[in-house]
Amino acid sequence: MSDYTLLADVQSVLPDGYSTTVLPDATVNTKITAWSGFVNDALPRYWAFNDTTDTPTTPKSIREITTWLTAWECMRILGTADLFNEDGLTDKLKTDAMALLEQIREGEIRISRETTTDANIAFGTAPVDAGLYKFSVAPKEVERDSVTISGYELGVDFDAEYDERYRGWVLKRFNSAISDGDDDSVTFDWSYLKQREVDSLPFVGGMIERS
């Protein structure tokens, strides 16, 4: 499970000089993980988001929501009574976080696409067959029309598609000149939003294949 915010982000919202005896860093980190899971579960139409330590990092809006919700619970632990008035800071943290989460869920706010370049692509690396390369962002949604390899044409020299056998997007080469190693790299856009439900078991002859 990824963490969608950092200890320092949460601490920047908490009162200066708060008691680390009442609220130790380990407790804050536990709450970060718990609220990250909550955000994940609240957005079932999205693939799991990147961790704050990943490249690219957690999307800004997801990081803000997780920060605010974690800080809200931490303030309750601290018992910061003067912040619990109606429309006070503590209440506003949760209210704003849940409102932003709902806007994402309803599609009013879109999480931007990311762009990635896979260098040193190696076709036929397990588990995929020869002539295939599995994109590094699987199972997230690759935008097919964005896939480029310098000097080659999509749909002519290569193609990209979701392959249920490998639970992810694969690059298919039709031109043997597209080689492994340093000479070629593939650049593509991808989205956290599930454009179709693809994380399912493969079907064989109308029956679910079981091992």
Q: Show pLDDT as tens, one digit a residue, over the chain (211 residues).
A: 799 999 999 999 999 999 999 999 999 999 999 999 999 999 999 999 999 999 999 999 999 999 999 999 999 899 865 555 555 678 889 999 999 999 999 999 999 999 999 998 899 999 999 999 999 997 899 999 999 999 999 999 999 999 988 888 999 999 989 987 656 899 999 999 987 655 544 444 444 443 3
Predicted pLDDT of residue 197: 59
Do 87 and 131 sit in the same domain of this protein?
A: no
Asked if residue 120 belongs to a domain, the reply is: yes
Q: Of the candidates 105, 138, 154, which is a domain's last residue?
A: 105
Do 91 and 53 sit in the same domain of this protein?
A: yes
Do 27 and 64 sit in the same domain of this protein?
A: yes
CA pair distance 36, 93, nearest whole angstrom: 16
Do 35 and 63 sit in the same domain of this protein?
A: yes
Read off the pLDDT of residues 21-50 as tens digits, 9 standing for 90 and up. 999 999 999 999 999 999 999 999 999 999
Name the nearest CA neighbour of 58 among 16, 112, 17.
112
Q: Of the candidates 105, 130, 162, which is a domain's last residue?
A: 105
Predicted pLDDT of residue 189: 97
- Quote the pTM value: 0.83
Asked if residue 208 belongs to a domain, the reply is: no
What is the per-residue burial (b if ≥16 Cβ within 10 Å, else e) of 90-129? beebbeebeebbeebeeeeeebeebebebeebebeeeebe
Do 137 and 100 sit in the same domain of this protein?
A: no
Asked if residue 210 belongs to a domain, the reply is: no
Is the Cα dihedral 191, 196, 198, 199 positive or negative?
positive
Do 146 and 173 sit in the same domain of this protein?
A: yes
For the chain, the domain total comes to: 2
Predicted pLDDT of residue 205: 47
Predicted pLDDT of residue 153: 96
Predicted pLDDT of residue 172: 96
Do 138 and 91 sit in the same domain of this protein?
A: no
Do 97 and 160 sit in the same domain of this protein?
A: no
Predicted pLDDT of residue 87: 58
Do 30 and 91 sit in the same domain of this protein?
A: yes
Range of the domain at 131: 114-197
Asked if residue 127 belongs to a domain, the reply is: yes
CA distances (Å), origin 183, targets 120, 178, 179, 204: 7, 8, 7, 38
Asked if residue 203 belongs to a domain, the reply is: no
Asked if residue 211 belongs to a domain, the reply is: no
CA distances (Å), origin 203, targets 10, 59, 141, 200, 209: 45, 34, 21, 9, 6
Q: Of the candidates 48, 74, 105, which is a domain's last residue?
A: 105
* In the chain, % of residues over pLDDT 90: 72
Do 141 and 69 sit in the same domain of this protein?
A: no
Asked if residue 72 belongs to a domain, the reply is: yes
Predicted pLDDT of residue 201: 46
Do 126 and 36 sit in the same domain of this protein?
A: no
Asked if residue 87 belongs to a domain, the reply is: yes
Do 54 and 35 sit in the same domain of this protein?
A: yes
CA pair distance 29, 73, nearest whole angstrom: 12
